[in-house]
Chain A
Amino acid sequence: MASHNESIIREPLITGSDITYAKITTDVLRPVENAPTKAWWIGFSMAAVGACLWVFAVSWTFWFGVGSWGLNKTVGWAWDITGFVWWVGIGHAGTLISAILLLFRQKWRNSINRSAEAMTIFAVICAATYIVAHMGRPWMFVYSLPLPNQYGSLWVNFNSPLIWDVFAISTYFSVSLVFWYTGLLPDLATIRDRATGIRRRIYSVCSFGWTGSVKTWQRFETVSLILAGISTPLVLSVHTIVSMDFATSLEPGWHTTIFPPYFVAGAIFSGFAMVQTLLLVTRKVLGLENYITMFHIESMNKIILLTGSIVGVAYMTEFFIAYYSGGEYEQYTFLNRFIGPYWWAGCMMYGCNVLMTQLMWFKKVRTNIAISWVLSIVVNIGMWFERFVIIVTSLHRDYIPSSWAMFYPTWVDLSVFIGSIGVFFTCFLLFIRVFPSIAMAEVKLLVKSSSEQGKKKLLAEGHLDPSHAEFYKESLTKFDSVDLSEYEKV
């Protein structure tokens, strides 16, 4: 899009020498056009085992009943809805990156949006499976859709947040899918152009006859913007509505007006952490370090820090309101997070989400790949516990003490959860085999303006403030293994 040169003091969005359009294509399509590597096979077989476990555990649940989970008369939701909210939350980063960052012209998104969007799709699929699996009678799922029926005026309950959920999730899924696929079109066409035989035919169909004409590109840009506009409110609405499952209820610990923004922040928080987890591995394994650079990693860490802190403020607000409200049941619920039998879950939640992410104030932490990766996983563990604490710790001791009960997961609970991670990774690993994991067309836009090459050209032209030039060179060695010898020449 941008035709101007970018300021030299901006870090490059693409590093490495001799980055040409062709090189980008070759680099990005390496996993798509070649036989899978050993690493892929190892990863895929592990993920596939997980997916099989999921199929087994979910079939078990369908055959015997939800009773095979550890739920009881007091705790009617536990790992199921925890898993559901967790996955939906993870799914948030993709749309945020592709839509909001697109509207804000954050060009660094170009290298990561494809994977993040794919992740969104798969995470939402995992979340949706939980919705169906947690039902007592999943074969009656259609009742939750407002379909014309022979019962006369029998309709769904538009007062129920679960119905809002049905709409929110399905809208979110379909818009995300369309957005993702639209973005894929030019890249699919690239693959088509390079492929032969049956592959060519398949990609030809998939690319919807992309011609690459100026008009096509223009329309492509317009559609992308429109879809970004549609998706942006969805980023906020989906988790808002998910939070209303809790916020509109009567349960102490659920009945909280702060939930919508708190949940959205938490969702972005966990979504970015998941993107971070995946991309740190992907860039290494697929050799995409030039496109997903330290700049990306640090930027994402900053967002994690920001959203983590928002979540922290939300936690504090909750405690303050519980204290300030004087509500007996509310106060007990929040106290119970620390002194009750699930105190350890509370500690995991507050520790992982608030305390650990505060480490990212340090640049050294933000720019250390190993620590970033570990922290991104810590965040996801913490966010899982956040949902567990909100759901189980609130439910297990609510109004009437005689009904207070503990929740103990069964092997089925565990298998469905581990299995859903397996399903997610199976999908993701298949995705990087058949689709370009980086949006080639969009990354190519960066080459001229903001890549290292572009900057190098600026340096060569020599119209720059020498201190800026120095700063730039320094930044290169700081984070990435860029060979500076070439710069000596200019």
Chain B
Amino acid sequence: MDSNKKYWKGLEELNNDPEFVEKNKHEFAEPIPIEEVLSGAGLMNKTPRRDFLKALGFGVGAVTLAACQKVPVHKSIPYLIKPEEITPGVANYYSSTYDGHAILVKTREGRPIKVEGNPNDLLSKGGLSAQAQASVLDLYDVNRLKNPVLNGADVTWNETDAFVKNELAAIKTGGKKIRLVSSSVHSPSTLAVIADFIAQYPTAKHINYDAVSYTGIIQANKNSFDKAVLPHYRFDKADIIVSFGADFLGTWISPVEFTSQYVQNRNNKSLQNKKMSRHIQFESGMSLTGTNADVRILIKPSEEGVALVNLYNQISGATLPGTKKLNNVNADKALTLVAKELLAAKGKALVVCGSNDVAAQVLVNAINSLLGSYASTIDLDNYSNQYSGNDAEFVEFVSEMNRGEVDAVLFLNANPAYDYHNGSAIKDALKKVRLRLSFSDHNDETASLCNVIAPNHYYLESWGDDSIIEGYYTIVQPTINPVYNTRQAEQSLLIWSDNAVKDYYTYVRNNWDKNLLAKGGLSGQKGWETLLQTGFVNVADKANGTYTFTRELNGVAQTILNQSSQSEASGDNKLEVQLYQTVAIRDGKRANNPWLQEMPDPVSKVTWDNFAAMSPADIKKFNLAQFDVINIDVNGYSIALPVLSQPGQAQGTISVAVGYGRTMSGPVGDGVGKNAFPFHSFRNGTFQTSAIATFSKTGDNVILAQTQTHHSFEGRNVIRETTFKEFLKDPSSSSGDERKHKKYDDLFWQDYEIEKKPYNWVMAIDLNACTGCGACVVACSAENNIPVVGRDEVRRRREMHWIRIDRYYSFNNEEGKSISEEQEISTLKDLDHVSVVHQPMLCQHCDHAPCETVCPVLATVHSSEGLNHMAYNRCIGTRYCANNCPYKVRRFNWFNYWNDSRFDNYLINEHTHLVLNPDVTTRFRGVMEKCSMCIQRIQAGKLKAKIEKRPVKDGDIKVACQQTCPANAIVFGNRNDPDSEVSKALKSERTYYVLEELDVQPGIGYQVKVRNTAELEA
């Protein structure tokens, strides 16, 4: 129904004004000043309120709409077609070989990020050295050569091949010599390739050259038993070990394997069987092995020979002609007792000597033969292939070059321009060689003198095999596509020798199919696949034959004694120099590895430098001070090194590490320390590692970057040690037997009831097994993305390692009492009787953690599984937790180590980031970090168990430090599982907790150090 009513809004509408009618036609009653606004004039006008609101509304609307615009999304497609074996986020492990040890390479999304020992490895049962742990980083070294180099310019492989083949052909026609110089090759397939190469080029010869050589032992065995090999030493079978300067736990021949053998007679298990071996070390400088010895006797290098002669006399009862008494009273007394002990342990004794002198080693053979060591502790039948270098051959090679007889030389993993004692002779001689070729993947000291560099693959990119013990064959398989345009050296040799097999993989395959698979009872494709999974085949050991020494010794004794008197330093400012390798850097081939450079030396705790180690008495005598730089001169070659006061250094000697002073290793290793290789000399057919040096003060002073600067434990019960004798009487001697302690009720601590939870992650560390080698430090760095901070920062005491090994010296005074307090030590006259203890120290995951209560923001909290967590994102960096940590294990990110140009050379570049463990975040500056007990591994283990619908089994989860420990000194596990290895270990009478009196309830139990210092106390 229509309404008749008319509604109107104003009089205008009612009256129908013409003006109103006109206006009503438009949408807006008043004209919109669009034109004005656009012309700019409108902006000058005063904006009416409505316009303002309109503009506001429009503005907000427009911005909202604009914000709805999709932001471009960059989609990265890691796997368009996912490889079957790769699941993003899940690690794959491939078996391979590092230096003869079977390893597992952990890869994530196709890139190797960690190297771990293969738990089934016969030699070290899963243990690995620091060098092996660090080796993965070298894969991503941006300083590796990216292409083959011909006369200084990058070329293609075709050009290289054309040039090399041409040259080789010409040389073959010319009939001049071709020499392939390599460090000892122990890969069966590589040796076969070399043999094929030599067959093609008959003037070629393969020379094994080791920077640190074992020719002395090899030649001695040839002389004594007609077997030119390195024996396989069996420290596990020895009840008494006497070493003359052989650092078998640190650097000598196969230290990881030896460590694993050595601790078998000293670890918790052995002690529970009331058994412990005895170890007596005669040496000049304090070696890692020396720090572990039960008795350590200081001798100068020149006294070593005389000592051996005397020991032989004592054991044989005969007297070699020309025998003289040792001037060293302590050593002389000790030798008599040592001889008695050795004879008492006949058949279970082992004498080793680090000397590279043939005569000395012949005498050692004679001693070992008298002691019946062959067939028990020394195995000459299942011998070691690890070193086969022949020093005389190499010296002859240098003169061949000088005589112009050599037209081609190929360097494979050898760098004599740096590590030969007369590097300049190599430089000069090489000028006379037509084709100089290096397979080095760096433009190193030798490669830079070559006209061709054919860069080799890194071992993680290679196929191959290895055999360091006769009968034990391991496989090398690639874990990544070659990072750069490199080619495997064996492949190059195959191509240049026109081998029928063009491809090294096929070559290795053929070699195994034909020769090696069968030894492990494998065959065919299936056998090969099994091999790739297990990583090795092992032939049952041959019977270890008895060898009796029958040669005449008069001449040998004469040589030794002559040499001793020649190498005795006499006169002012003359000292005997003893050259050694450090555990981290060894012969310097890996000098460009920042993890190794920053790894504290196990004995001196020095990083990033070598130094002149002198005894405190000598430093006083020559009026020197710690860190004074002295010039050490041997036959005209001199280097300036800072002095380090080394307790336990024989008076009258200086120890200097080789492997430093690289000039062309890359930005990390260049200029670190000074090169001591030129101090080597070629005497009696071998390279000798001692020399007579003149030293002089330079007046300079260089502070070495040490991670530990206080060396005594001040009598604190942080370190607890006992003797084997005491231990036999009372297994809990000096441990304080924590089990008998009264437990007090917690007044202030919320009861976590951790014992009712399924897991309580704890650790046990056996101080008697730990040798202090430092492999755990590097393993931890690799696993947990720990930044490298460089020399200056270490000097400021800011290294970031989550685990460190504390090394303490204590001294025996005249009455044989142990002195460990600085005040008392300073009054001691004789600092030669030093004993050493190593203590791995890491976050103790205290149940009453002092760090947790003081954090203002709850960035560090306790887990229900007994762990102390760190929430990096929450941390504001007050450092209160670090101050309140009695163990001082917390590490602060003082700088942004992952993005600060000052730390560029270490881990920050496009490729080295690839080595980072994606399961562990890198930490930004200003946050605290510390050991997490490898929480990522715990989590992975728990997830795996969950998927398999079972609880976590003991041994499922191994933390990084534990995994690599060659001594098995670290046991990790669940304390709430009474059958777990760690629970059992913690129940041992020897267990104590560091600073337990603070009632912080640490989660790491240590087991008392036991010294077998029975009757022999020289």
Contacts and interface: CB of A to CB of B under 8 A. Distances in A.
Interface of A: 64-67, 70-74, 76-77, 134-138, 140-141, 143-144, 154-157, 159-163, 166, 245, 248-251, 328-329, 332, 339, 395, 397-406, 408
Interface stretch (B229-237, B437-445, B853-861, B941-949): B853-861
A66 B799 CA distance: 15
Nearest to B877: A136
Interface stretch (B175-183, B515-523, B880-888, B963-971): B880-888
A339 B822 CA distance: 12
A398 to B, nearest CB: 7
The dominant DSSP class at the B interface is loop
Given A143-B857, A155-B858, A402 B884 contact: no
B714 interface: yes
Contacts, number: 165
B926 A157 contact: no
A160 B854 contact: yes
Contact of B886 (A134, A339, A398): A398
Interface in B552-585: none
A197 B894 CA distance: 53
Interface in B349-402: none
B856 A160 contact: yes
Nearest to B798: A72
19 contacts: A65-B896, A66-B892, A70-B796, A71-B892, A76-B880, A136-B927, A137-B875, A137-B927, A144-B857, A157-B856, A157-B857, A162-B856, A162-B878, A250-B998, A332-B714, A398-B888, A399-B887, A402-B708, A402-B839
Nearest to A405: B797
A450 B398 CA distance: 105
A325 to B, nearest CB: 12
B876 A136 contact: yes
Contacts of A400: 718, 806, 841, 886-888, 994-995
B858 to A, nearest CB: 5
A143 B874 contact: yes
Contacts of B877: 66, 135-137
B682 interface: no
Contacts of A401: 710, 712-714, 716, 718, 808
B853 A74 contact: no
A402 B876 contact: no
B572 to A, nearest CB: 35
Given A76-B882, A136-B875, 19 more contacts: A64-B900, A72-B798, A73-B890, A74-B797, A74-B888, A135-B877, A136-B925, A137-B875, A137-B925, A144-B856, A248-B853, A249-B850, A249-B884, A250-B850, A251-B886, A400-B994, A401-B718, A402-B841, A404-B709
Interface in B839-875: 839, 841, 850, 853-858, 874-875
B876 to A, nearest CB: 5
Given A155-B858, A156-B857, A395-B883, A134 B878 contact: yes
Given A136-B875, A402-B808, A250 B884 contact: yes
Task: Rank and list the top 3 A-B pairs by shortest CB-CB distance, nearest first.
Answer: A136-B877, A136-B926, A67-B894
Interface in B885-929: 886-888, 890-896, 900, 924-928
Contacts of B839: 402
Contacts of B883: 76-77, 249, 251, 395
Given A65-B925, A73-B882, A76-B879, A402 B856 contact: no
B807 interface: yes
A329 B857 CA distance: 29
B710 A160 contact: no
Nearest to B891: A73
Contacts of A328: 716
Nearest to B995: A399
Contacts of A70: 796
B882 A402 contact: no
Contacts of A249: 850, 854, 880, 883-884
A166 B857 CA distance: 12
Interface residues of B, number: 57
B1000 interface: yes
Contacts of A155: 858
Given A160-B853, A399-B887, A250 B926 contact: no
Nearest to B998: A250
A408 B796 CA distance: 9
A250 B806 contact: no
A136 B892 contact: yes
A71 B879 contact: yes
A31 to B, nearest CB: 41
Interface in B729-751: none
Contacts of B841: 400, 402
B890 to A, nearest CB: 8
B710 A402 contact: yes
B804 interface: yes
Contacts of B709: 404-406
Contacts of B797: 72-74, 405-406
B884 A399 contact: no
Nearest to B873: A140
Contacts of A136: 875-879, 892-893, 925-928
Contacts of B928: 136
Contacts of A402: 708, 710, 713, 804, 806-808, 839, 841
Nearest to B807: A402
Contacts of A138: 876
Contact of A67 (B718, B798, B823, B875): B798
Given A332-B714, A401-B712, A166 B856 contact: yes
A140 B876 contact: yes
A412 to B, nearest CB: 12
Contacts of A403: 708, 888
A329 B718 CA distance: 11
A384 to B, nearest CB: 19
B800 to A, nearest CB: 9
B856 A251 contact: no
Contacts of A162: 854-856, 878, 880
A488 B205 CA distance: 123
Contact of B879 (A77, A160, A406): A77
Nearest to B999: A250
Contacts of B710: 397, 401-402, 404
B798 to A, nearest CB: 5
A251 B890 CA distance: 15
Contacts of B880: 76-77, 160, 162, 245, 249
Nearest to A407: B797
Nearest to A394: B883
B876 A135 contact: yes
Contacts of B853: 157, 159-160, 248
Nearest to A151: B874
Contacts of A160: 853-856, 880
Interface string B770-785: 0000000000000000
B856 A73 contact: no
B712 A67 contact: no
A71 to B, nearest CB: 7
Contacts of B890: 73
Given A250-B998, A399-B718, A73 B876 contact: no
Contacts of A74: 797, 888
A163 B855 CA distance: 9
Contacts of B708: 402-403
Among A140, A155, A329, max chain B CB count under 10 A is at A140
Contacts of B718: 399-401
Contact of B858 (A77, A154, A408): A154
A400 B876 CA distance: 26
A328 B693 CA distance: 46
Contacts of B998: 250
A66 B854 contact: no
Contacts of A137: 875-877, 924-927
A423 B643 CA distance: 46
Contact of B884 (A134, A251, A339): A251
